[in-house]
Every structure is written in structure tokens, then in C-alpha cells.
Amino acid sequence: MAHSFILWLHGSGGSGPAYEHIRQLFSSSPEFNNTKWSFPTAPSSPVTCKGGAIMSSWFDIPEVPITAKTVRDEKGVLEAVQNVHAMINREVTAGTSPDNIFVCGFSQGGALAVASVLLYPKTLGGGVIFSGSVPLTTSIAEQISLEARKTPILWFHGMADETVLFEAGQAGCNFLQKIGMSCELKVYPDLDHSLLDDELQYFQSWIKVRLKSS
């Protein structure tokens, strides 16, 4: 059985295998010897902001850039969340403790990661959001269990991001803090809509200190 589980969710138009190199960053730390990774690829569907083009997408995106006020297809988001919860539940059934499960993602994958953590009934090890947003309206707050509110969140966002504006990341983190969650926001003034090695190094150390020994 895996001692810990890290689920990585890619952005729209991307694929799971394109991010598998991230696992290599963790290979030098013995704490991750018994970590299972999963890099699923989203199903293909038409995406409104791309003129209805068919691409890998966890749910529809109405517009870009994503702002603090962008309204998403909540039905699609909630269906995608159910699929993520099924992946988490498979690992829990196989014997991995929920507090050693981390849900992470970039861009649309980050939005799905935060929604999945908020609506999961138990406390997880953590959620790590790279250049993401909260894809649900604040009315979702009443559906977030006390256990879910104990899951810590690490949020990375670049101020030069023109795809998911920094205001969307900042509003997302503020919302989480307002409902009593721990959300650490790491801001990069010159970062656009991409990943930095510095983010990934911090991501690795953040998860390492939160791993619970078996």
C-alpha cells in the first residue's frame, strides 16, 4: 500500500503525462519512497472560450482571462469533483490515510483541486494550487464540512498572469481564509501563466513537513 498519494491535475488543453517529470524532484527525498503519484488526463470536450474547440478539459471555461468575478459552469465543476473524489476514495480504500493525500493542480487543474478539497468530507493532507482560482460561487461555503476546513492550502500565483489574473488567485485565497481555512499565498511579481522551479521546490518542502508517519 502507498504511504502517501499525490494527485496532479493539469490545465485545460494539457495532459497528465506532460507533468510526470515533477515526480523526479521528489525522488531524492526518502520520505517519498512510498508515495504513489497520479497524473490523469481530462476528457476531451468543447471549450467555450476557445470557440468550441475540442480539447482536454475538466469542465467548460466561459472566458479568459479568468477574473475574480468569472462565473463557471458549476454543474460541470461538480461532476469533475465527483471524479476526483472517486480517485481519492480508491486510495483510501487501498489503505492510504486521508491526511497523507495531497490534491494539486495547475490553472484549470488548480481550480478543480481546490473545489475537490473543499467538498471532500474528510481532512486531507493538503491542496496545492498553481495559478488557479475557486471555480464555485461563495454560496458553496455552507456545503464545506468542518473536516474539510482543516485541510491546509498552499497557493502560488504570478502577478504577471494574463490567463488567470492575480486578482482571481487573491480572491480565492481570501475566501478560504474567511471560512477559517489555512491558505498560504506565495506571490511571484514577474511570473506569467507558467510554473517555476522555485515553486516546485517550495511545493516539495511544504508537502514533506506535512507527511504523517505511518
Q: Which residues are identified as catalytic?
A: 107, 161, 193
How close are the terminal C-alpha atoms of the chain, in Å? 11
Three-state DSSP at 184 gives: strand
Question: Which residues are paired to 132 by β-bridges?
Answer: none
Contacts of 98 (CB under 8 A, 6+ apart): 88, 92, 120, 122, 123, 124, 125
Cell of 161: 498572469
Cell of 195: 510554473
Cβ atoms 35, 26 nearer than 8 A: yes
Cell of 67: 477574473
User: With 0-12 CB in 10 A as exposed, 13-18 as middle and 19+ as buried, what is 195?
Assistant: middle
How far CA 80 is from CA of 74, 105, 188, in Å, comes to: 10, 13, 29
Cell of 99: 491526511
User: With 0-12 CB in 10 A as exposed, 13-18 as middle and 19+ as buried, what is 21?
Assistant: exposed
